[in-house]
Amino acid sequence: MNQAFAQQHGKSRGEMSALCSLLKLPENERKERGLLYTPAEIAQQPETWKKTFELFQRQRAEIHEFLAMAGVWAPDVASRPTVMLIGAGTSDYIGQSVARLLRKTWQCDVTAVPSTDLLTEMESVLLPGRRHLCISFSRSGDSAEGVAVMQKVLAIRPDILHLVVSCNVNGWMVKGTEAYPQVLRVCLDDAVNDRGLAMTSSFSNMVILGQCLAHSCDLPMYEKIFRKVVSGGRNFLPLAADCAARLAQLSLTKACMVGSGPLRAVARESALKVLELTAGKTLTLSESALGLRHGPMAALDESTLFVCFLSGNPTVQKYEMDLLRELGRKGLVNNRVVVSGQALSGAGSLAEHFLLPSAGSPVADDYRPAVDVIFGQLLGLFFSLKWGLQPDNPSPTGAISRVVQNVTIHA
């Protein structure tokens, strides 16, 4: 996989992209520097998306029947279930990335609910007599809060159906639920069960699976979009890597990520990736373009990297462009980056760096998260190296771990 990436993204002058250079390091050096997993897991994403799509194709009939049983396509729209997309941290941002798309295609109430909230507020979320469908996203399938939430819902509401999307065939959510007929399990390829601390390919592949769920009724239509997503990811990897590597060499100690709609989830996940992979040495925040002015803008200064995942919606885009111009006019930050789904005239006045994942026809915002988040992942990777950390395990104090542990579940 590393060699294939190197061959595909080698530059015409014999140079390599910054990511490719890391992948080409000898294995013993990658292991010593904590680079054995994270760079490869970022680089493999477009190719693994194809495997996830093929997996969905194989399980589509079973999944479609399960969703029909849950009432997703009931003729009476009012009788359709309230769909809860459940996860913690990055897995919650998966739900936030696909909630709007699912709501539009399924025409029912869909909302992302963090398992960390659901565990403590379940009584106010699960309405008596209301039809629900739970869709849980989890890399490990073993996080304490996610398992506890699922166990509790299975116990008190056996009428609720559960769709589990995980990357670990041996996790409790997959193995431990085999006896429950109201649970359907979709387990992605083991290659995307990221071994590094940070979720990278596990995030984007579960997002792709969520997009497939949204188009269970019209998969051939989605396949046309999906091909553009894969192409965009391939094109974006070397561009985003080189930009992230250059930015990591600057004296930047903070990062602010902005996005709207599904790209708001990308901004949140990108901020988390930089925070996790730098062990908090790079402080981050995320907001919407309009929300930033209501207080958070006070944190911006010359040491802040500002990243805008620019919406393709013309109206939303105007608000975001206004903000970018305001930051330039006020001189609040020295480094603005725009990640856009389409080419824009006058882009140079908006930001110091303009990244375009695909030169082809634009992809709607609902389908951009898996591609756009690559830039946030790469920022985390190269900023981690700049701070002298090991990206595979950047937290020397053990403040965070690959699977959240030591959570006491209280009755």
Q: Dihedral, CA atoms, 272, 273, 278, 282, nearest 10 degrees?
A: -50
Instruction: List pLDDT tens digits, range 272-327.
Output: 999 999 999 999 999 999 999 999 999 999 999 999 999 999 999 999 999 999 99
Q: What is the pLDDT of residue 4?
A: 42
The whole-number pLDDT of residue 3 equals: 43
Q: What is the mean pLDDT of residues 44-63?
A: 98
Distance in angstroms (rounded) separating the CA atoms of residues 277 and 377: 9
Which residue type occupies 154?
L
Closest among 83, 58, 86 to 73, alpha carbons compared: 83
Those residues with Cβ within 8 angstroms of residue 346's Cβ, 6 or more apart along the chain or in another chain: none
Which domains can be identified in the chain, with CATH numbers? Answer: 43-217 (3.40.50.10490), 236-386 (3.40.50.10490)
Residue at 112: amino acid letter = A
Phi/psi-derived region of residue 331, left when phi > 0, alpha when psi is between -120 and 50, beta in every other case: left
What is the model's pTM? Answer: 0.95
2 pLDDT more than 50: no
Average pLDDT, the chain: 94
The Cα 169–Cα 190 span in angstroms is 8
Residue type, 30: R
User: Looking at residues 258-267, what average pLDDT do you find?
Assistant: 98
* Average pLDDT value for residue range 62-67: 98
User: Residue range 73-85: average pLDDT?
Assistant: 96
Mean pLDDT of 375-387: 98
The stretches of 190-261 forming alpha helices (DSSP H) are 201-214, 219-248
Beta-sheet pairing, 183-187 with 283-287: unpaired
Rounded Cα distance, 174 and 164, in Å: 7
Is the pLDDT at 12 greater than 60? The verdict is no
**Which residue intervals of 249-394 are DSSP H helices?**
262-277, 314-330, 369-386
More reliable by pLDDT, 206 or 9: 206
Q: Are 247 and 304 in contact (CB under 8 A)?
A: no
**How far is Cα 165 from Cα 143, in angstroms, rounded to an integer?**
13
Structure tokens at 410: 């209280």
Instruction: Note the pLDDT of residue 348.
Output: 79
Question: CB of 216 within 8 A of CB of 63?
Answer: yes
pLDDT band, very low/low/confident/very high, at 6 (cuts 50, 70, 90): very low
Predicted local confidence at residue 15, as pLDDT: 57
pLDDT tens digits, one per residue of 99-151: 999 999 999 999 999 999 999 999 889 988 899 999 999 999 999 999 999 99
Q: What CA–CA distance (Å, rounded) separates 107 from 109? A: 7
pLDDT for residue 10 is more than 50: no
- Looking at the chain, how many residues does it have? 411
- Average pLDDT, integer, range 67-77: 96
